[in-house]
Amino acid sequence: MTSELSVPALAVESLVVHFPARHGPPVRAVDGVSFSVAERETLGLVGESGCGKSTVANAVVGLVRPTRGEVRVAGTPIAGATTHTLRAIRAKAQMVFQDLATSLNPRMTVGAAIGEPLLVRGLARGRALEARVAALLSEVGLRPEHASRYPHQFSGGQRQRIVIARALALRPTLLVCDEPVSALDVSVRAQILNLFVELQQSHAMACLFVSHDLAVVRHVCDRVAVMYLGHLVELAPRDALYATPRHPYTRALLAAAPEPDPELQRAKPRVPLQGEIPSPAAPPPGCVFHTRCPMAVARCREEVPIWRPLGETMVACHRAEESPA
């Protein structure tokens, strides 16, 4: 956890990202999100498709400009940073995307792709660069001779290892991973997730890990934040979140997640999650979850629940102290 004295690897404060629409009101992709990630910590960010996870991740690495609020990487604000500072931040905060097809240039050898960030910044060349690339390849479980091959000669899992090696080249202090295993076969997901855990420890990196898959997040994260329609609804240490979820939406997500053991699957409580996700261009008043919440009462339709501590959890729900009916 973040101590008051240490500067978190990442601090996101009251982040708002609205995308203007050609017709009608803007899309409120992120609508006031605050969290921090401590040094060496992994924070998971989960929620259904379209809730704003990627927009948060993109704002953190400077790919999307916040409408309001602040992002600080190791204490340095991204907004208003000089080109020089921004370059330094971009080196410290590296992103690993889901999309394997576009993450690697098909015409570039694997060695050139991994070495590119070092070469461009003038940090290594020639023999020294080759040695760094070889070391990075072996760190991700590949062999130095793979450097001369092309991305299409590798499997999906191997390509994701290459992308990770490239992200590690500048020795980042923060890794932002957006669905890094979603495009992979189930059989190789666990290997790549284990690699993340190993590398995060050996490189002493913090990690913001975006996924719609609660099982994946459970495997790699210290704390988990749950997002719904542009808002955080719950943030808790991993075990607390899975054992005693406080927000009705977290409970619904956990109930909907498939359980590998059929016995446990049958015993699972059913929390109905009815209806469609409302449009982020026209979010409901009061609690944004009230249109789908099995515990909603009149107050929920009018009053926005405040983001508050409850034990070791942060939650935004008027009825978080109550157990589900």
Ligand X SMILES: Nc1ncnc2c1ncn2[C@@H]1O[C@H](COP(=O)(O)OP(=O)(O)OP(=O)(O)O)[C@@H](O)[C@H]1O
Distances (CA, A) of 108 to 98, 112, 115, 152: 19, 6, 11, 10
Q: Which of 192, 277, 290, 313 binds ligand SF4 (CB under 6 A)?
A: 290
Query: Counting contacts by CB under 6 A, is residue 305 touching ligand SF4?
Result: yes
Beta-sheet strands, E only, within the chain: 10-19, 27-37, 42-46, 68-73, 76-77, 93-96, 174-178, 206-210, 223-228, 231-237, 308-310, 313-315
CA dist 242 and 60 (Å) reads 26
CA dist 250 and 248 (Å) reads 6
Chain position whose Cβ is nearest to Mg ion: 54
DSSP annotation of 17: E
Contacted by 93, from ligand SF4, Mg ion, ligand X, none: CB < 5 to 8 Å by type: none
Show the DSSP H helices in 140-260 as ranges. 156-168, 186-202, 214-220, 238-243, 248-256
Contacted by 300, from ligand SF4, ligand X, Mg ion, none: CB < 5 to 8 Å by type: ligand SF4
Residues 259-288 that bind ligand SF4 (CB under 6 A): 287
Window contacting Mg ion (CB under 5 A); options: 50-58, 63-71, 79-87, 289-297: 50-58
Query: Counting contacts by CB under 6 A, is residue 300 touching ligand SF4?
Result: yes
Residues 85-104 that bind ligand SF4 (CB under 6 A): none
Nearer to ligand X (CB atom), residue 22 or residue 143: 22
Query: Counting contacts by CB under 6 A, is residue 54 touching ligand X?
Result: yes
Shortest approach of Mg ion to residue 178 CB, angstroms? 6
DSSP annotation of 153: G
Shortest approach of ligand X to residue 102 CB, angstroms? 15
CB 82 within 8 A of CB 89: no
Contacted by 157, from ligand X, Mg ion, ligand SF4, none: CB < 5 to 8 Å by type: none
Binding mask 12-31 for ligand X (x = CB under 6 A): -------x-------x-x--
Paired with 314 in beta bridges are 235, 309
For residue 1, which of 317, 323, 309 has the smallest C-alpha distance? 309
Q: Which residues bind ligand X (CB under 6 A)?
A: 19, 27, 29, 47, 49-55, 212, 280
